[in-house]
Structure 1
Amino acid sequence: MDTRERIVLYFKELADERGFYGATVDELAARNNMSKRTIYRYFKSKEEIIEAVVLAKVQEVERGILSILNSKENPVKKMTQFVKFLSEKLRSFNPRVYGDLQRHYPGIWEKVEQLRASNIKYLIQVMVEGSEQGYFKEINPTIVTASLLATIRAVVNPAFMLENNLTPEEAFQTIMHTFLYGIVAER
């Protein structure tokens, strides 16, 4: 692991404790026997470090999603694996930490929102593939994409989750269960 990657990893660990806003470059340097000069050789600002932390997490998630979606499995299996994979990844997301992005780093939060939108498109591709193969009902991808993305933005949202005492995993699983199976009870 090179120095830049270590800085990102160490800052992520510090942010998990203190939040992105509460974590400081001074503390990062002191805890990890680095000089601030070394840190600023690789990053121009604390915000740039935060962006690198978020980007590393997003890239890790995207690699997993693409692996699932490019598999030879049928659409139902892909959908199941997609929900399971994202649920597991969301288990490590701390709403308080990501709430800092919304409040203090809106430019980075907007990038997260854009990436979530692109990941929803991957999911919709599986739904379309599944409807073409007879696994799922026929859907209007435009409507499903817009409604699913709006729901995720509203519910898998740090402020909403904290206010309603929800984990990211619970919020996402509930959304996906509702979208996939509806709300009508079987009799």
Structure 2
Amino acid sequence: MTTREKIIWGFRKLAEEKGFYYATVDELAALNNMSKRTIYRYFKSKEEIIEAVMEKLLKETEVEVFAALDKLDNPIDKMTMFVQIVSQRLRELTPVLIRDLPIHYPQIWDKVEQFRTDKLIFLTQIMVEGSKQGYLKEINHTVVSASLLATVRAVVNPIFMMENNLSPEETFKTVMHTFLYGIVAEDKKVHSQ
């Protein structure tokens, strides 16, 4: 592991316990047995370290998702795999880890939001493909895409999750399950049609 990677890994571990805002560079230096001066050779500021932590998490998620989806043809399998991988990755993001981003580091949170937007647009493209192939209902994908994005922004967000004692994984799975399968119980669908 390079010194830069050690710094990123160490700060992430500290942030998992304390959050990004309360984790300090002094603690990071002690954790890694290095001086603050060494840390500042690689990063200009604490914010730059936080940004590197989040960029690493997002990039790892993206690589894993696309590697898995490239092996699948069926749009339903692709959507299921997308939800599984993102849910597993979200398990790593404790609410404590990400709670400070929208409040104290909005420029970094904006990058997370852009990443989520891009990936949800990609998921919508899979839905369009699924409709064309007959796997999914014919629906207005513009409405579905906008609804899904608005829901993720409102619900899969640190403040909402902390206020409602929800994990990112549980929240994302619930939102995606609702969008993909609806809320009507299977045994009741026949009676309502």
Structure 1 residue 71: Cα displacement: 2.3
Unaligned stretches of 5+ residues in structure 2: 189-193
Partner of 1:45: 45
Partner of 1:135: 135
Distance across 2 between alignment mates of 1:166 and 1:136: 30
Structure 1 residue 5: Cα displacement: 1.1
Please identify, of 62-71 and 76-85, the stretch whose mean Cα deviation from structure 2 is larger.
62-71
Give matches, 1:64-79, under 5 Å. 64-79=64-79
Could you say what the CA RMSD is over the residues aligned between the two structures, in angstroms?
1.1
> Which residue type is aligned with residue 28 of structure 2?
L
SS in 2 for 1:65: helix
Runs of 4+ in 1 over 2 A off after TM superposition: 68-73
Structure 1 residue 160: Cα displacement: 0.7
After superposition, what is the alpha-carbon deviation per residue over 1:141-174, rounded to whole angstroms, capped at 9, x for unaligned?
A: 2211111010001111111111111111111111
Partner of 1:108: 108
Distance across 2 between alignment mates of 1:27 and 1:145: 42
Partner of 2:5: 5
After superposition, what is the alpha-carbon deviation per residue over 1:72-101, rounded to whole angstroms, capped at 9, x for unaligned?
A: 331111111111111111111111221111
Give matches, 1:6-21, under 5 Å. 6-21=6-21
Structure 1 residue 140: Cα displacement: 2.2
Partner of 2:173: 173
SS in 2 for 1:21: coil
SS in 2 for 1:10: helix
TM-score by length of 1: 0.96
> Which residue type is aligned with residue 145 of structure 1?
S
Distance across 1 between alignment mates of 2:93 and 2:31: 23
Q: Give yes or no for the alignment of 1:117 onto 2:117.
A: yes
TM-score by length of 2: 0.93
Partner of 1:28: 28
Give matches, 1:52-71, under 5 Å. 52-71=52-71
The alignment covers a number of residue pairs equal to 187
Distance across 2 between alignment mates of 1:118 and 1:129: 17
Between the aligned residues of both structures, percent identity stands at 63
Unaligned stretches of 5+ residues in structure 1: none
